[in-house]
């Protein structure tokens, strides 16, 4: 699709489905797809517990009501037969590990929020503002696996926010990073963390979270090579905590930059960052990164909905006596860090001609 056709979108909306449609991220995807200009949600799949039931009759935990476009649809089992060619996956990792390749082998393009295939050498791990060219891996993936379909992943929620800020500083040479995350309860899904553990407390451990932040960020910032991605050499040390906040992950970041830029130059790099994705993608925020100028911002309750939940907010930028500079970053974990990230990847793929689309 050329630039003008990107901005107009496809002649006919592309039919899509959701795997794991009844979970927290699946419901957010359903809400974001309702009245989407490029996609039409026509199929919802879930576990055997929900299959055969009317989607609108199941427990709904996203804001508002279940979308009218699927409220009366019967939930299907997670089987490729009957599913549209394009499916979003909000499956848990255990289910995604086996089901996503089954769909890809059957000719479906799977746009996944699950962690199962993110670090696979032939699977693109994409943030459109950072590494849209990593989608070129799909040719190698299809050739090596013999698939007519494909799997494309978006990162762990905290990884998205960190990778975005580091990419904005890439011209200065990112060498070392120390990040501590304060992650919202909704990141654990539903029912999530037990109330007696979460109330008025900080839990200083989230299983598997720290390695994901460290390895996924290096892959996203890495270099595309034949047959895979060479990880970025920056050294990242992550600590992940769970805090009694409903939505919005906060990250406290210290970074060492090779070029030793002035504070004003670092601030300008954040302010002018617009990223690498093409213009006209419906879910892309006008400003992927916004600077919060007040000393007490960003705050989850006040700032995580910026850019319809797709903007990363950076504040408290200041010198760091240990590494050079430090700042606080905030992102909406269920939108920019999950459902919205997958949707933006799908829009990017459609714009690049990587999804089935009716000719204009």
Could you count the other beta carbons within 10 Å of the beta carbon of residue 247?
19
Question: 7: exposed, middle or buried (C-beta count within 10 Å: 0-12, 13-18, 19+)?
Answer: middle
- For residue 257, the SS3 value is strand
In the block, tokens 């002649």 appear at 11
Nearest Cα residue to 164 out of 146, 183, 177: 177
State the burial class of residue 129 (Cβ atoms within 10 Å of its Cβ: 0-12, 13-18, 19+). Answer: buried
Q: Which of 167, 249, 277, 332 is catalytic?
A: 249
Structure tokens at 136: 């070129």
249 is catalytic: yes
φ, ψ for residue 349, nearest 5 deg = -65, -40
The DSSP string of 106-120 is: TT-EEEE-SSTTTT-
| Long-range contacts from 73-76, C-beta under 8 angstroms, 24+ separation | 73/42, 73/43, 73/44, 75/21, 75/22, 75/44, 75/45, 75/46, 75/50, 75/51, 76/43, 76/44, 76/45, 76/46, 76/51
3-state secondary structure of 77: strand
Catalytic residue among 78, 157, 277, 304: 157
- Which among 155, 299, 151 has a CA at the least distance from the CA of 222? 155
Active site residues: 157, 249
């Amino acid at each position: 699709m050329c630039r003008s056709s990107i901005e107009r979108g496809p002649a006919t909306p592309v039919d899509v489905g959701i795997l794991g449609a009844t979970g927290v991220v699946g419901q957010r995807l359903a809400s974001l797809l309702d009245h989407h200009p490029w996609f039409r949600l026509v199929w919802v799949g879930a576990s055997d517990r929900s299959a055969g039931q009317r989607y609108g009759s199941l427990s709904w935990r996203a804001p508002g009501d279940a979308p009218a476009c699927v409220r009366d649809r019967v939930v299907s089992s997670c089987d490729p037969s009957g599913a549209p060619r394009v499916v979003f996956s909000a499956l848990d990792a255990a289910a995604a590990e086996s089901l996503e390749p089954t769909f890809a082998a059957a000719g479906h393009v799977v746009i996944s929020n699950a962690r199962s295939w993110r670090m696979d050498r032939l699977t693109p791990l994409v943030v459109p503002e950072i590494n849209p060219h990593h989608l070129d891996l799909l040719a190698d993936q299809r050739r090596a696996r013999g698939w007519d379909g494909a799997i494309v992943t978006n990162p762990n929620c905290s990884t998205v926010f960190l990778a975005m800020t580091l990419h904005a500083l890439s011209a200065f040479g990112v060498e070392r990073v120390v990040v501590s995350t304060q992650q919202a309860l909704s990141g654990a899904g539903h029912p999530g963390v037990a109330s007696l553990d979460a109330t008025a407390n900080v839990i200083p451990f989230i299983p598997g979270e720290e390695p994901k932040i460290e390895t996924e960020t290096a892959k996203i910032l890495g270099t595309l090579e034949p047959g895979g991605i060479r990880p970025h050499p920056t050294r990242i040390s992550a600590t992940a905590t769970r805090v009694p906040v409903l939505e919005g992950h906060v990250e406290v970041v210290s970074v060492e930059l090779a070029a030793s830029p002035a504070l004003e130059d670092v601030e300008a790099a954040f302010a002018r960052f617009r990223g690498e994705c093409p213009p006209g993608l419906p879910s892309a925020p006008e400003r992927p990164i916004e600077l919060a100028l007040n000393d007490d911002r960003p705050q989850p309750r006040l700032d995580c909905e910026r850019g319809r939940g797709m903007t990363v907010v950076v504040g408290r930028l200041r010198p760091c006596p240990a590494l050079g500079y430090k700042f606080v970053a905030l992102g909406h974990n269920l939108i920019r860090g999950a459902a919205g990230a997958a949707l933006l990847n799908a829009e990017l793929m459609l714009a690049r001609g990587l999804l089935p689309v009716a000719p204009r």
